[in-house]
Amino acid sequence: MPRGKGKAPKITQPLGAVLLADLKNQLLLITLAMQKINTFDGSKNFKHPYFGLLNLKQTVKFLEIHTFHHLKIVRDIKK
């Protein structure tokens, strides 16, 4: 999906200012969650708001692509 074509669901948007401490805490939580992902039951599904049901393999692939997409945006902002 090209940048700027999609809109993040309201639940994923910050309510106010984004603080560095909050970002660090979220990174820690994500790191802990990703360490556990390989212990999840492969028959379970994740319901994505736009792509529908994703199995574990599809979810991991989506997370990789989505994270890379956001890292590219951060790099562009830093330029």
DSSP result, 57-69: HHHHHHHHHHHHH
Q: CB neighbours (10 Å) of residue 54?
A: 16
Nearest-5° angle of CA 59, CA 49, CA 3? 85
CA distance 54 to 28: 24
C-alpha to C-alpha distance for 50 and 12, rounded to whole angstroms: 13
Q: pLDDT tens digits for 2-57? A: 677 777 778 878 888 889 999 899 889 989 988 888 888 888 898 988 889 999 99
